Amino acid sequence: MRRFVGLLAVAAVLASAGPAGASLVHIDRTLGELTIPRVRAGTLTIPRGHASGRVRVIAGLPLPPLASIRGRELTAQGGSRRLDVASSASRRYLARVAAAQRLAAARLLRAIPEARIGRRYQVVLDGFVVSLPVTRLPRLARLGFVRKIYPSVRYHLATDTSPSVIGATELQKLTGVKGDGIKIAIVDDGVDSTNPFLNPTGYSYPAGFPKGGRKWTTPKVIVARAFPGPNSDRAGRLPIDREASFHATHVAGIAAGDAGTCSPGGRDHPPTCGLSGVAPRAWIGNYRVFNVPTPIGHIANTPEIAAAFEFAVRDGMDVINFSGGGAETEPANDAMIDVIRNVTAAGVVPVISAGNDRDQFGMGTVGSPGSAPDAITVAAVSNTHVFDPTLSVRAAGAPADLRSIAIAGAGGGLFPDSFGYTAHRLVDVGALVAANGNAIDRRLCGPDGDTNNPDKSQLRAASLDGDIAFASRGHCTFVSKTLRAARAGAIALVLVDNRTGGPDGIPIELPLPSGMISDLDGARLRAFLATTGGAAAVTIGNAVQRVETGRSGVVTSFSSGGPTAFGHLLKPDVSAPGGQILSSTLPEFTGGSPFAVFDGTSMAAPHVSGAAALLLQLHPGWSPQQVKSALVSTAGAAWDDTARTQEAAVTLEGGGLVDLPRAASPLVLTEPASLSFRDLDVNHGSDSRALLVRVTDAGDGAGTWNVQLAPQATSSGASLDVPPALVVPPGGEADLVAVARGSADAVAGEDYGFILLRRGDVTRKIPYEFFVGRPQLELLQPKRLERFQIGDTVNGPDRVSAYCCPSEPFGPPPDYVGPPMNETGAETLYVTSINQPVANIGVAIEASRAGSSVDPWFLGSPNERDVQGYAGTPVNVNELMNDFGFDLGAAGASFPKVQRFYVSVDSGSDSFTHRSLPGSYVLRSWVNDVRPPRIRLLTHRVAAGRPTIVARVTDKGAGVDPLSLVLAYRRVLVGAALYDPTTGIAVFPLPQQAAEIPKGHTRAIISAADYQESKNVNSVGSDILPNTAYRPVGITGVPGPALTWVAPAENRCVAKTAALVVVASSTKRVRSVRFLVDGKQIEIDRNGAVDVFSGSWATLLVPAGKHELRAVATDAGGRTFAATRHVKVCR
């Protein structure tokens, strides 16, 4: 199950009131394979600039930026179409923009004296950074000279022979191009110019270079600049930080590493020679932006990234590579959409990674700025090899392809040495027979629908004694599979992956030595075992080898898919290798080697940046759009299956796998390169949308091209109309009109594929996508959204089973097949409006019936496909939080547009048993919450040892996220076990794994976040966690008993039935607590859980006025101790 659930006191109207203290609810810390341990080693550090209540935005000003105004006038100069920032015309215009900005800044400070003005933009944006109190955002928006307000989006890194996979090696042999004269900007975490893969021997600086910090430049790395973000330390102001940088150097090596370089080997790869970047003779520009320290590494924010792109244009870069991204936010408010549009207007090619979120969030996950229409957005595919240990079948007659099977370990670990030289029997659990005579499920899950209970197993005792269990991934947790195997006597576990491509590592450590092999290798191994009685001898090594698989071009399971969450644009654009890529990095990162193997669309993007460099060397007059078209229209197939028999969908591959020899001679170029028809709504009759494609002769492309459709997915009642043929005149252009249609009786569904242009044996392609929809939420009458709402998902029809986008916020289905979600509740639709700019808006399920799973969805219209990106889903999407990925029952939007929004409250089903989980709920809403919760320690004095600590944690805005509650002391972090949102009581029982509270004073910190923090995909100010509170406290341990009142509050009026709650601890077990009112005992609690004792007091017949409550505790040693509290009975 998920989040804390139960019939809380705040929801008393949903059912009869429970006993006193019933509102303290257990906090569930497990969701599938995600588990947040309640106790872990660590400390809490209060971030600098914490809880300032300020936001940081970019104020867009009226004048067009230089790239926009001058980009229209670009002509081929010296064979290159690129903006000349230093020309006299450009300098005059920049002076005009600067003067207008000075005037605007003065007017802004007069209107909002508390504001602070930072970086200014003139080339790719016209505007400046403004820091101001969040309450002053509406005032900023009303200033007549402020055209737009852009939020500060948070971005993270989207973390050999691969150039040959895209045809770079072949193109170099055919034409000799290696990127000479082309400059590639790496906007990232800092390039190490001393790495041997970036050896400057044989290079010289181009005219006007080096630029930036010359100490960090070479004739190969010709620019070194840093753009420090909020709270960057001194190292953050350097172009490279040897203790933190690692990623940019890897990216730079892929794009332009020197040909013929050798790696000496490392922990993740053997010695390897013959390495080369895609464009090995290109220059590199280093623009460091990832320098803001966080618990998960260094991040970057919009203002600094926009500044880096601006300087890259000013410096004369030809290509900009950005191997990073963040959750897409409202495009109308995303500065990077405008930045990238103006970068292309300046003649610079922007190449962006698609993102690595599909395995966690499904389709509709292409991040910003890869969601920008003008970007070349790159998906990741497999390489020709993997770097892993191998499993070898030692049985006689085993096929050669079973002698060296790549196997990825669990939690980054390896099998013990003995498995490599001593053969053990590998047993296919599906070949065994259960006690009832049935075959055992190969997934090794619990029977009877209790899939994750390790105490339930089909395996008989000792049935795997001394063997290695061979099972399939999916349907139940890794841990439960391992425990079942171990209890049957297994000494290790090998799983068959249910994702395509190379084997994925098991993401957690397991009780047995464990590993995973690919789905294709698993099928072949299982087929062989079927001929040997279900078992065979194997060895499993622990030395990493380069295993040639020949399975390149398979879209990786992590590579983000389209369409975009907002607007539903077709992305990505192309694919390139992003799995198992060996390239340069820092030896400080690896612990010795200057090379390492990384996975990610971060690695795919620089392949395409290098490809763009080669194309620009061949065609210096090409515009960024022409480079994009050449890459997309000529791409080959990327694959959907490991055996490479099924081409991947265009929403995964884009145009396909880059094919450089074909891209170098495209014959025709198309604008746009792909067609996004978005959604058609046929609820009210037929619908259609027409788009125009301009087809231009790119050299030898004149003549008649036949136009055909190659659909990959179709739905009933949908069609795409195209002309049968197109005539392109020599050196000219022709227009192709495509019309997507949905008939009045069309069935809802997605349509995508390719429009093919054929001339003889030559084919060029244009990817397309659209969705024919029948939004069911349009059929509901919305209710006005209030501060608190009561409702249920039990009564009424179930109209919607799935929401988008993203399509899988709860993660993929357990078996990686079938629907990713099944929302089975009766929906209630709410509506609200934003009439002026705000930092955020959201809703959360404050309480829900025990056993239910109630989900709110934040929508831009009454359409289940209009979820407002990641933040609009019920899960925690803030990767800086410990409960990232958990279903918290909170949804919202960051820096939303001024418009009407909708909330659909639905309920899900159990992902393993598929049982529907509807229930009653209390829904809370908020607007503009940038303040963290308030924390007050209640148990200042406790018994030494491991007592229970209690605090009151409240939040007036979004409400407290119970999973965020943490007590830090003596280098241990302890999560709360119980929480009550009504009173704010948080209970921290200290278990045996936690450190003791010693006698005397102990310093501690309590931290808590609200639900808005879980929706913060933007960095609203200088604080990385603005909605998280940190409260230093002191706890005194005493060598005896201690007792603290929790409820009711001192000198407050009590209800007709008052809950009496105390915390009693001692060096011996507390046996009972008696509750007295004015000296008369009214109740005794002998069953207190985790030191919390409770009773109830009926006050209906009690005289009005002040009364004394007294709690008297008795421990196992016979000692009694007491505490009093004064309250009022008010009439």
Do residues 155 and 161 touch, judged by C-beta distance below 8 A? no
Inter-axis angle of helices 601-618 and 168-175, nearest 10: 10
State the pLDDT at residue 161.
Answer: 59
On the question of pLDDT at 78 being above 60, the answer is no
For every residue of 784-841, DSSP letters joined together read EP-SEEEEESSSS----S---SSS-TT-S-TTS-S-S----SPPEEEEEE--S--SEE
State the pLDDT at residue 3.
Answer: 38
Question: How do residues 258-303 score in pLDDT, each as one tens digit?
Answer: 999 999 999 999 999 999 999 999 999 999 999 998 877 889 999 9
Beta bridge partners of 59: 128, 149
668-773 and 1040-1131 have identical folds: yes
Question: How do residues 632-654 score in pLDDT, each as one tens digit?
Answer: 999 999 999 999 999 999 999 99
Question: How do residues 1029-1056 score in pLDDT, each as one tens digit?
Answer: 999 999 999 999 999 999 998 999 998 8
What kind of fold does domain 385-548 have according to CATH? Glucose Oxidase; domain 1 (3.50.30)
- Residues 758-793, buried b or exposed e (16+ Cβ, 10 A)? ebeebbbbbbbbbbbbbbbbbebebeebeeebebbb
**For the purposes of burial, counting CB atoms within 10 Å of the CB of 939, is it exposed (0-12), middle (13-18) or buried (19 or more)?**
buried
Closest CA to 953 of 935, 969, 941, 976: 935
State the pLDDT at residue 872.
Answer: 98
- Domain positions in the chain: 54-151, 167-383+552-618, 385-548, 668-773, 776-927, 1040-1131
DSSP helix/strand/coil, 88: helix
Helices (DSSP H) in 530-669: which residue ranges?
A: 587-590, 601-618, 624-633, 650-653, 660-663
- Residues 542-573, buried b or exposed e (16+ Cβ, 10 A)? bebbbbebebbbbbbbbbbbbbbbbbbbbbbb
Question: How do residues 169-224 score in pLDDT, each as one tens digit?
Answer: 888 888 899 999 999 999 999 999 999 999 999 999 999 999 999 999 999 999 99
Question: How do residues 988-1037 score in pLDDT, each as one tens digit?
Answer: 999 999 999 999 999 999 999 999 999 998 776 678 888 999 999 999 99
State the pLDDT at residue 172.
Answer: 85
State the pLDDT at residue 75.
Answer: 45
Q: Is the dihedral of CA 86, 87, 88, 91 positive or negative?
A: negative
Backbone phi and psi for residue 567, each to the nearest 5 degrees, phi listed first: 85, -20
Tokens 């790395």: give the residue: 221
State the pLDDT at residue 861.
Answer: 97
Mean pLDDT over residues 847-856, rounded? 92
pTM of the predicted model as reported, rounded to 2 decimal places? 0.93
Judged by average pLDDT, the poorest of 43-57, 125-139, 313-327 is 43-57
DSSP helix/strand/coil, 440: coil
State the pLDDT at residue 28.
Answer: 84
Mean pLDDT over residues 858-863, rounded? 98
Quote the percentage of the chain above a pLDDT of 70. Answer: 96
Mean pLDDT over residues 488-513, rounded? 93
On the question of pLDDT at 134 being above 90, the answer is no
Tokens encoding 199: 């050896």
Do residues 213 and 224 touch, judged by C-beta distance below 8 A? yes
C-alpha span between 347 and 83 (Å, rounded): 6
Q: Is the dihedral of CA 995, 1001, 1003, 1004 positive or negative?
A: positive
Do residues 846 and 922 touch, judged by C-beta distance below 8 A? yes
Tokens encoding 563: 């369409």
SS3 content of the chain, % helix, strand, coil (to 5): 15, 35, 45
DSSP helix/strand/coil, 286: strand
C-alpha span between 372 and 350 (Å, rounded): 10
Other CB atoms within 10 Å distance of the CB of residue 19: 11
Question: How do residues 323-360 score in pLDDT, each as one tens digit?
Answer: 999 999 999 999 999 999 999 999 999 999 999 999 99
State the pLDDT at residue 1089.
Answer: 78
Place domain 167-383+552-618 in its CATH homologous superfamily.
Peptidase S8/S53 domain (3.40.50.200)
DSSP helix/strand/coil, 667: coil
pLDDT, averaged across the chain: 92
Helices (DSSP H) in 1029-1112: which residue ranges?
A: none
DSSP helix/strand/coil, 184: strand
Do residues 656 and 575 touch, judged by C-beta distance below 8 A? yes
443, amino acid identity: R
Closest CA to 984 of 1098, 846, 882, 884: 846
State the pLDDT at residue 423.
Answer: 96
Query: Helix/strand/coil (H, E, C) string of 923-971?
Result: EEEEECCCCCCEEEECCCEEECECCEEEEEEECCCCCECHHHCEEEECC
Do residues 300 and 230 touch, judged by C-beta distance below 8 A? no
- List C-alpha distances in Å: 885 to 357, 785, 877, 879: 11, 26, 6, 8
Other CB atoms within 10 Å distance of the CB of residue 429: 27
Q: Which CATH number fits domain 668-773: 3.30.360.10, 2.60.40.10, 2.60.40.3080, 3.10.310.30?
A: 2.60.40.10
Class of domain 776-927: mainly beta
For domain 54-151, the question of CATH label 3.40.1620 is answered with: no
Do residues 658 and 575 touch, judged by C-beta distance below 8 A? yes
State the pLDDT at residue 448.
Answer: 75
State the pLDDT at residue 18.
Answer: 33
C-alpha span between 1080 and 1071 (Å, rounded): 20
816, amino acid identity: Y
State the pLDDT at residue 820.
Answer: 84
Please list, in sequence order, all residues whose beta carbon lies within 8 angstroms of the beta carbon of residue 109, skipping any fewer than 6 positions away: 115, 117
Q: How confident is the model at residue 160 (pLDDT cuts 50, 70, 90)?
A: low
Do residues 886 and 962 touch, judged by C-beta distance below 8 A? no
Class of domain 1040-1131: mainly beta
C-alpha span between 607 and 179 (Å, rounded): 12
State the pLDDT at residue 297.
Answer: 84
On the question of pLDDT at 7 being above 80, the answer is no
Torsion of CA 240, 246, 249, 252, to 10 degrees: -120
**Peptide bond before residue 563 is cis, with ω within 30 degrees of 0:** yes
DSSP helix/strand/coil, 244: coil
Length of the chain: 1131
Question: How do residues 433-491 score in pLDDT, each as one tens digit?
Answer: 988 888 899 999 988 777 888 889 999 999 999 999 999 998 888 999 999 999 999 99
